[in-house]
Structure 1
Amino acid sequence: MSDTLLEAGPVLVDLDGGVAHVRLNRPEALNGLDVPLLRALYDALLLVHGDPRTRAVLLTGEGPSFCAGGDVKTFAAKGEALPDYLREATTWLQNCTTALLALRAPVVAAVHGFAAGGGGFGLVCACDLVLAAQSSKFLLGATRVGMAPDAGGSVTLTRLVGLRKALEIALTNPTLSAQEALELGIVTRVVADDALLDEGRALAAALAAGPTLALAATKRLLWDGVGATVADRLPEESRVVSELSGTADAREGLAAVIERRAPTFRGA
């Protein structure tokens, strides 16, 4: 049974079977990010984080594109007040990025149309798994308009694709096809355009049916471990594995293997 958590405004949220579906909802602006949308997105992420029923998150955009980046029309209208406006906007964007990374539930982004700028490209880089429609395009584009990457993209992009390729993307602003984004490691999988939402829901549902404590701990280990040496992470891995082994989900997982059946995980 689907439960609507946010039914109006620039971000919509519903919860179904443990999957919180967060939808950017400014289709007329290609989900371009302004302060109201960013504040709403942050509030939505806190909402699903605080709901104990949330076991996975699906992030999508309404209308023709996932997110075209910052709302350039709003930016241009600010004139000399733009720096102050962008300080506020980027603060909310940073909050959203941090929330995505910190969510215990794994986050799946399903991208169609354009994922551009800090809003589209940067937020995609902060998600855990990314499905891209075959016709989707990816563009960082910040330096093209005299700005710099945000949404953590100056860090996450480098760690996803390597320093040289990140510099090329950030400095020359190529428009990447879904297949190119896949080959670079920016997205997880490319799917047919008409199958994107179904595939995104299926992937999120599979994660929601999994051992949520283990998934949350693994997500944290991998994100925290980016940039660290293997030796740095071994003690923490050992601690987490030992801790998880005492959970009901771990016992259920072992029993299911022994009994040759599908496990039923409860998140405990």
Structure 2
Amino acid sequence: MDGPVLVRHDGSVAHVVLNRPAARNALNLAMCHRLREVFEDLDSDPDVRVVLLSANGPAFCAGADLKERHGHDAAWVRRRRLASFAAYETIERCAKPVVALVRGPVVGSGGEIAMSCDFIIAGDDTTFRFPEPHRGTVGATQRLQRVIGRSRAKELLFTARVMDVREAAATGLVARVVPADDLLAEGARTAETIASAPPLSIRLTKQAVDLGSETDLGNGIRIEMAAIERCLADGGTSLDRRPPDVRTGQGLPAKSSNDQLYSGQRGPSTPSLDGARGGDQ
């Protein structure tokens, strides 16, 4: 099959596959554009409940395709970087749960793609490396520190060393390590479990965690309470109705005295519903 990114559907699970195995799935401009297009489509598809993101070949992603930049000026490189930022953000903002299934080398931009997902399941042959400073550029400075902490992120970026999968799991970068040959099967089982839950509660849980990470505990509890109120209004068991979007307000219930989040009335430190987590590379 052709194209830098493949998509197939298995019931309510969408499989997105990086498909440049001859280039070790290095991220180029076409892949950036296609990732953005694919995740925009999946986000708006009411039949999709879970997305699994994997790659063809022995490497998940070898980083940015440096060969692509030959002959281009600084303005082109800048536009190319912005395209990658847009791709990561579209993955990250997808309202459906997105699980990265990684194995082999995960380098630079590959790490950004994986960290843009909700969590990572890794084969036991996975390694991570963030060599951007040693290539004379800057990248992975935002998501990486938010996942593993500022000091660890600096150490990995400054040294460009390889981090094995056990260390990645210990730092919280990887949620689960499985035998590499079992990776796709474990991903399918995980997706089936997620898809069996009411989509409304899954979607609101994802939004509550993401929005809560941007504010203090008090406002986080308010976000969670608003999500609980929405589940109660729905009966808490709907498997078929498309969930509302708390960022836009579409499909939300009428304002209640306990629901500042959905009324659009925010306290002085309540997070904006339009905010997105930053990223680079």
Q: Same fold per TM (> 0.5)?
A: yes
The correspondence for 1:207, drawn from 194, 206, 211, is 194
What are the equivalent positions in structure 2 for 1:1-268 lying under 5 Å apart? 8-75=2-69, 77-78=70-71, 81-117=72-108, 119-149=109-139, 153-248=140-235, 250-251=236-237, 265-267=239-241
With the length of structure 1 as denominator, give the TM-score of the two structures. 0.86
Q: Is the 8 A contact 1:211 1:267 kept in 2?
A: no
Gaps of 5+ in 1: 1-6, 253-264
Q: CA deviation at 1:155?
A: 2.3
Alignment-derived partner of residue 4 in structure 1: none
Q: CA deviation at 1:82?
A: 4.2
Q: Is the 8 A contact 2:212 2:223 kept in 1?
A: no
Q: How big is each residue's C-alpha offset from its partner over 1:100-133, in whole Å with a ceiling of 9 and x where there is no partner? A: 121111000000111111x211111111121111
Q: How big is each residue's C-alpha offset from its partner over 1:157-204, in whole Å with a ceiling of 9 and x where there is no partner? A: 212111111111222222111111000100100000110111112112
Task: Say which SS state the counterpart of residue 215 (structure 2) adopts.
Answer: coil
Q: How many equivalent pairs are there?
A: 242
Task: Say which SS state the counterpart of residue 60 (structure 1) adopts.
Answer: strand
**Alignment CA distance shift 1:136-1:234 (3 Å):** same
Q: CA deviation at 1:85?
A: 2.5
CA distance in 2, matches of 1:125, 1:82: 29
**Alignment CA distance shift 1:45-1:251 (3 Å):** closer
With the length of structure 2 as denominator, give the TM-score of the two structures. 0.82
The code of the aligned residue for 2:22 comes to E
CA distance in 2, matches of 1:87, 1:105: 30
Q: Is the 8 A contact 2:148 2:173 kept in 1?
A: yes
Aligned-pair RMSD on alpha carbons?
A: 1.5
Q: Is the 8 A contact 2:36 2:91 kept in 1?
A: no
Q: How big is each residue's C-alpha offset from its partner over 1:10-40, in whole Å with a ceiling of 9 and x where there is no partner? A: 1100111211100011110011111111111
Higher mean C-alpha displacement, 231-240 vs 11-20: 231-240
Task: Say which SS state the counterpart of residue 233 (structure 2) adopts.
Answer: coil
Q: How big is each residue's C-alpha offset from its partner over 1:192-244, in whole Å with a ceiling of 9 and x where there is no partner? A: 01101111121122112212111111111212222421012222221111111
- Percent sequence identity over aligned pairs: 30
Alignment-derived partner of residue 247 in structure 2: none
